Amino acid sequence: MDEEHVEFDFSGKSNEEILSLFFHEIRGPLTSVTGYLNMLKLEGLREEDTRKFIDIASRLALLIQKNVNEVFQYLDEQRKDQ
pLDDT tens, position by position, 10-24: 778 887 888 888 888
Q: CA–CA separation, 57 vs 33, rounded Å?
A: 5
Q: CA–CA separation, 76 vs 12, rounded Å?
A: 16
Q: Is residue 4 in some structural domain?
A: no
Q: What is the CATH number of the domain that holds 24?
A: 1.10.287
Please answer whether residues 33 and 64 qualify as being in contact, where contact means their C-beta atoms are separated by less than 8 angstroms.
Answer: yes
Q: Is residue 7 in some structural domain?
A: no
Number of domains in the chain: 1
Q: Is residue 57 in some structural domain?
A: yes
Size (the chain), residues: 82
Q: How many CB atoms lie within 10 A of CB 50?
A: 13
Residue numbers of the domain that contains 43: 15-81
pLDDT for 33-45, tens place per residue? 999 999 999 999 9
pTM of the full structure: 0.77
Q: Is residue 8 in some structural domain?
A: no
